[in-house]
Amino acid sequence: MRSISIFGATGSIGQSTFDLIRRAGGAEAYRTVALTGARNVTLLAEMARELRAEVAVVAHEEELPALREALAGSGVEVAAGEAAIAEAADRPADWVMSGIVGAAGLVPGMRALRHGGMLALANKESLVTAGSLLLETARAHGATILPVDSEHSAVFQALTGEDAGAVERVIITASGGPFRTWPLEKLARATVAEAKAHPNWSMGSRISIDSASMFNKALELIETREFFGFPPEMIEVLVHPQSIVHALVGFRDGGVMAHLGPADMRHAIGFALHWPARGDVPVERLDLARLGSLSFEAPDPERFPALRLAREVMRVRGLAGAAFNAAKEVALDNFMAGRLGFLGMATVVEETLAVLSAETGLGKAPTGLEEVLAMDRYARVKAAECAAGMRED
Ligand code: NAD
Ligand code: MG
């Protein structure tokens, strides 16, 4: 029986993963090692009982008594805290979902790679902050990383059986988010509720807001560069409001392979779950005649500066990804708390990168995870200073 763990089990990706596992037979078909969440103890406990998990872990220590109570008599071990999540990743599992949001997903993903097996990687922040270390760790331990971001799963699928040397360009699509057609003046006043309302995808609130600002696509450009190794000039973003074509790969003979599918993450998760085979996945089937048309447009770098910043990060590499992601997370926290305007997020990230480049330079390749985590912490301090300086109150 195959063993699995789900990190970030209570989130959007975690719930979609749970849905597929349950439909595939649940505890009868898979042995569940670890399930983790941050605060939703009730949901975590329900899943742990149903899948008969070995251990359930919450990120926040103060939730431990509630988790213990919710799982009393179930035989499921309980634990809490960041270290406990990392320790849960040390327990071997054949297939691990990395579905925590933000840089908090890096350490558990890295630790899970050390026992070989497969890491289904939804946590794009791991590749953005520590791409080369992650790939090296996977190689050293014979582990396989399967991209779960829809665009990256699409590129992966389009490349299957192809010669990577014959690739001319890789295009990842972006829906354009809820503000695709908004003028700059209106963007300046965009609210959190407006930014969360993604037109096509149902996702966690942080990634939904990142989609509105196109910081999500910025992370994905860097993710493409790090995971597939193509140089930045070969990687493009194309706005495609219907979110049906997820990525395209162009070859030297002029042919282009496109990957199409409904806007449902269970396709990409299911692909990773069944890989290298194709399994049954219960997503809605495409009806192109009913859709009628698909449209495409170039992204607007003026209204969405995140893409330009990502290009800079892809050029510098080294610790730039860790700094970029940390600054973005702080900027997002400030926007969500009402302390920063929507456009202020890009300003905070740009200024933080400028300050850090001037202070230390960001191009040095990290030799270990500690260096990445140190840059993550330092960039957060600098970004917070920057955001505080921009506050209007
Ligand atoms: P979410 O906010 O819905 O869920 C995040 C999960 O992480 C939850 O289980 C939460 O409890 C946990 N978590 C949050 N902070 C934590 C911390 N500090 N320590 C430990 N656990 C913590 O997010 P999501 O939309 O499911 O996204 C998860 C990841 O997948 C992100 O990296 C996101 O970019 C990526 N992703 C998501 C989608 C999507 O459709 N939702 C698509 C592509 C990629
Ligand atoms: Mg994506």
Per-residue confidence (pLDDT) for residue 360, from 0 to 100: 85
Same domain, 188 and 127: no
Same domain, 135 and 183: no
Q: Nearest Cα to 195, choosing from 182, 184, 180, 209? A: 209
For the CA of 11, the closest atom of ligand 1 is 4
Same domain, 73 and 141: yes
Same domain, 205 and 306: yes
Mutate which of 203, 216, 325 for ligand 1? The one with the most ligand atoms within 8 Å of its CB, which is 203
Same domain, 58 and 115: yes
Give the helix, strand, coil percentages of the chain, each rounded to 5.
Answer: 50, 15, 35
The answer to whether the CB of 12 is under 6 A from ligand 1 is yes
Tokens linked to 356: 């850090």
Residue 14 maps to a domain: yes
* Cis peptide bond prior to 366, omega within 30° of 0: no
Q: Nearest Cα to 89, choosing from 113, 68, 67, 59? A: 113
Per-residue confidence (pLDDT) for residue 393, from 0 to 100: 56
- For 163-192, write each residue's pLDDT tens digit: 999 999 999 999 999 999 999 999 999 999
CA distances from 101 to 69, 115, 304, 343, 384 (A): 26, 22, 22, 22, 20
**By the 8 A CB rule, do 190 and 212 touch?**
yes
Read off the CATH number of the domain in which 46 is found.
3.40.50.720
- Which of 118, 147, 176 finishes a domain? 147
**Phi then psi dihedrals of residue 169, to 5 deg:** -160, 155
Into how many domains does the chain fold? 2
Q: Scanning the structure block, which residue is given the tokens 């995808």?
A: 201
The answer to whether the CB of 14 is under 6 A from ligand 1 is yes
Q: Residue 6: nearest ligand to its CA?
A: 1
CA distances from 225 to 164, 219, 290, 297 (A): 13, 10, 35, 22
- For 43-53, write each residue's pLDDT tens digit: 999 999 999 99
Cα angle: 79, vertex 84, 85; to 5 degrees: 105
The answer to whether the CB of 11 is under 6 A from ligand 1 is yes
- Burial environment of residue 374 by CB neighbours within 10 A (0 to 12, 13 to 18, 19 or more): middle
Residue 157 maps to a domain: no
Q: Dmax of the chain from CA atoms?
A: 62
Q: Find all residues with CB under 8 Å of 120, minimum gap 6, and list them.
A: 17, 95, 96, 97, 98, 146, 148, 269, 272, 273
Same domain, 116 and 246: no
Per-residue confidence (pLDDT) for residue 392, from 0 to 100: 59
Nearest CA to ligand 1 atom 43: 149
Same domain, 174 and 313: yes
Percent of the chain having pLDDT more than 90? 98
Residue 108 maps to a domain: yes
The answer to whether the CB of 125 is under 6 A from ligand 1 is yes
Q: Nearest Cα to 115, choosing from 140, 133, 98? A: 140
The answer to whether the CB of 210 is under 6 A from ligand 1 is no
Nearest CA to ligand 1 atom 25: 204
Q: Residue 124: nearest ligand to its CA?
A: 1
Same domain, 138 and 169: no
Residue 153 maps to a domain: no
Same domain, 378 and 247: yes
Find the DSSP H helices in 24-170: 41-51, 64-70, 82-90, 106-113, 124-141, 150-159
The answer to whether the CB of 38 is under 6 A from ligand 1 is yes
Residue 271 maps to a domain: no
Nearest CA to ligand 1 atom 8: 11
The answer to whether the CB of 20 is under 6 A from ligand 1 is no
Residue 233 maps to a domain: yes
CA distance 304 to 8: 29
- pTM assigned to the model: 0.97
- For 106-124, write each residue's pLDDT tens digit: 999 999 999 999 999 999 9
Indicate if the pLDDT at residue 391 is higher than 90: no
Whole-number average pLDDT of the chain: 97
- For 127-157, write each residue's pLDDT tens digit: 999 999 999 999 999 999 999 999 999 999 9
Same domain, 257 and 349: yes
Nearest CA to ligand 1 atom 31: 101
Same domain, 189 and 319: yes
- Which of 147, 174, 204 finishes a domain? 147
Same domain, 63 and 201: no
- Residue 22, domain extent: 2-147
DSSP annotation string for 32-50? EEEEEESS-HHHHHHHHHH
Per-residue confidence (pLDDT) for residue 100, from 0 to 100: 98
Residue 160 maps to a domain: no
Read off the CATH number of the domain in which 331 is found.
1.10.1740.10
> What's the whole-number mean pLDDT along residues 243-271?
98
- For 196-235, write each residue's pLDDT tens digit: 999 999 999 999 999 999 999 999 999 999 999 999 999 9
- Which of 116, 147, 178 finishes a domain? 147
The answer to whether the CB of 59 is under 6 A from ligand 1 is yes
Q: Residue 13: nearest ligand to its CA?
A: 1
Residue 287 maps to a domain: no
